[in-house]
Amino acid sequence: MQRYILGLDAGNTVIKAIIFDTAGRELALAARDGRSCMPEPGHVERDLGELWRNAVEVIRQCLDQSGIDPRDIAVIGCAGHGNGLYALDRGGDPLLGIQSLDTRGVGIVSEWAAAGVGDRTYIHCLQRPWAAQTPTLLAWLKRHDPALFAKIGTVFLCKDFIVNRLTGARSTETSDMSGCGLLHMPGRRYERELLAAYGLDDCMELLPNVLEASAIAGHVTRDVAAATGLLAGTPVVAGLFDVVASAIGSGVTSTGAASIIAGTWSINQVITQEPIRDPSIFMLSTFDPLRYLAIESSATSAANLEWIVREFFEHAPPAGASPFEICSELVASVDPAGDMPIYHPFLYGSQQNGKARAGFYGIAGWHTRAHMLRALFEGVVFEHRRHVETLRRAGAIVSQAVLSGGGSRSAVWPQIFADVLDVPVTVARSRETGALGAAIAAGTGVGLFADFSAGAAAMTAPDRCYQPNCAIAPVYERRYRLYGEINKAMGPLWDRMASERTSN
């Protein structure tokens, strides 16, 4: 009997369902875009009912496309964006979905920084609070919306909500909960002292059971089977934080390997055998008892291209043309040069300053939209480089990297990554590395693979490799330094602009 794996990948917007065989070939894919709502400035939320309806639809579409007998689906794995807050009420019904682009917690983070809260949390979870971090959002609700806070029965991350709807399980797993700063590290467990540091010592009962990523969380229920076409009783594993899933799905599983994801978020991560203890590192995660990921990230990557396409290119593209391909062609039409504009990719704030905003600097009358787009592409990579330099200063070695995410699909962006980072950059064969990583975890959970490394060896492969162009390295070096200097100079002005917004 042929055995297949269903991988789900739930991002901040799109949810995808993909059926893989055990060699990593994609047999069917279905995707559906969801909608974010912004009820107030800085608040980025989603309708959990819509998210689940979209999940049901893509699963059914995927099964219909493939023609595969549901009995041949051996197991299901799900990846989802980390942090944010996906809450059920005390009766187990959907209550609230806050996405990882949310910035309502900026004020609390500033207050906590002044009070030394980050020093106390770091002792336990090796992280400091930030605006869209799950415990920060819980603390914000507790203070600013106590009536809603009192209704919370379970605190989930995005993929935990999907697993719960599939199986009824009230569970999470170590990669997501470590990534959001709610697990003691390296103990990989909840700890009352950590919750108390966030002012959430009364929230232990809200946290779901923590499993290993490849552990079976539950099985598809009869109701879900009827709605999706899946077979009731199909096992579902606990799943993965999507950045970890993308690393595994691009073939990065060994110590010292680096994964860069150019998606909604700029993700830059290196696998280590021991957790790096350096407060400058933004995030720490783990996906099995032996390996950790040092992660530098911010919401500053391909979301910038999605924004400029949505607002300026999507409305009137040439017939049959992809607006993203048009953008790549325009970028390729101009060479990097010293008189190009500089772009800051801070549509959703920066890691260093939640009040930061995106901007083009140095625009002249002779600059075209091709120059503006090239500046945007470069600005995104400059912020990736800033993250990579932080990892290196903490002791991580980044001598080559595997690039995944939407940015890896561009014909020109991977070369800019290689040139700016000055390392060889490989693009994985699969474009759907998040769903593939979830499938690898799922296959490991039911014994199709001995472990994550064996699963990655069986299901992943490289596609393209880009070498740095030494001839343009001096240009990028100067532009990167200017990018950083403008960033520093803008800090006081961003603070002033934020004060103006709150005073109106």
Residues whose CB falls within 8 Å of the CB of residue 247, separated by 6 or more in sequence, listed in order: 253, 257, 259, 261, 269, 271, 293, 402, 404, 433, 437
**With a threshold of 0.85, does the pTM exceed it?**
yes
Rg (CA), the chain: 22
pLDDT in tens, 74-97: 999 999 999 999 999 999 999 999
Residue 457 in this model has a pLDDT that exceeds 90: yes
402 φ, ψ (degrees, to nearest 5): -105, 125
What integer pLDDT is reported at residue 315 of this predicted model?
66
Residue 125 has pLDDT above 80, yes or no: yes
Cα separation, 312 vs 332, whole angstroms: 19
Residue 317 — very low, low, confident or very high, per pLDDT cuts 50/70/90?
Answer: low
Least confident of 92-96, 274-278, 446-450: 274-278
Average confidence (pLDDT) over 264-275: 91
Question: Residue 209 — very low, low, confident or very high, per pLDDT cuts 50/70/90?
Answer: very high
pLDDT in tens, 361-377: 999 999 999 999 999 99
**How much is the pLDDT for 302?**
93
Q: Which residues contact 434 (CB under 8 A, 6 or more apart)?
A: 7, 9, 11, 16, 79, 242, 245, 246, 249
What is the predicted pLDDT for the residue at 321? 74
**For residues 62 and 17, is the Cβ–Cβ distance under 8 A?**
yes
Question: What pLDDT is recorded for position 320?
Answer: 65
Mean of pLDDT values over 188-203: 96
Q: What is the DSSP string of 471-482?
A: GGHHHHHHHHHH
What count of other Cβ atoms lies within 10 Å of the Cβ of residue 205?
A: 8
C-alpha distance from residue 199 to each of 137, 235, 244 (Å): 12, 37, 28
Predicted confidence (pLDDT) at residue 284 exceeds the cutoff of 60: yes
The predicted structure's pLDDT at residue 319: 63
Residue 101 banded pLDDT, cuts 50, 70, 90:
confident
pLDDT at 28: 98
Give mean pLDDT, residues 48-72.
Answer: 97
Q: What mean pLDDT do residues 29-44 have? A: 93
The Cα–Cα gap between 501 and 466 comes to 44
Average pLDDT, the chain: 94
- Of residues 245 and 405, more confidently modeled: 245
Burial class (CB in 10 A: 0-12, 13-18, 19+), 271: buried
The answer to whether residue 328 scores a pLDDT higher than 80 is: yes
Answer whether 266's CB lies under 8 Å from 183's CB. no
State the average pLDDT over residues 299-306. Answer: 92
Residue 256 has a pLDDT of 83
Helices 433-445 and 452-459, packing angle to 10 deg: 130
d(CA 400, CA 446): 32
Cα 159 to Cα 139: distance, rounded to the nearest angstrom: 22
For domain 302-427+465-502, give its CATH number from 3.30.420.40, 1.10.3210.10, 2.40.160.10, 1.20.1530.20: 3.30.420.40
Percent share of the chain, pLDDT over 90: 86
Q: How many residues does the chain have?
A: 504
Is the pLDDT reported for residue 173 higher than 70?
Answer: yes
Across the range 459-466, mean pLDDT stands at 95
Domain boundaries, the chain: 302-427+465-502
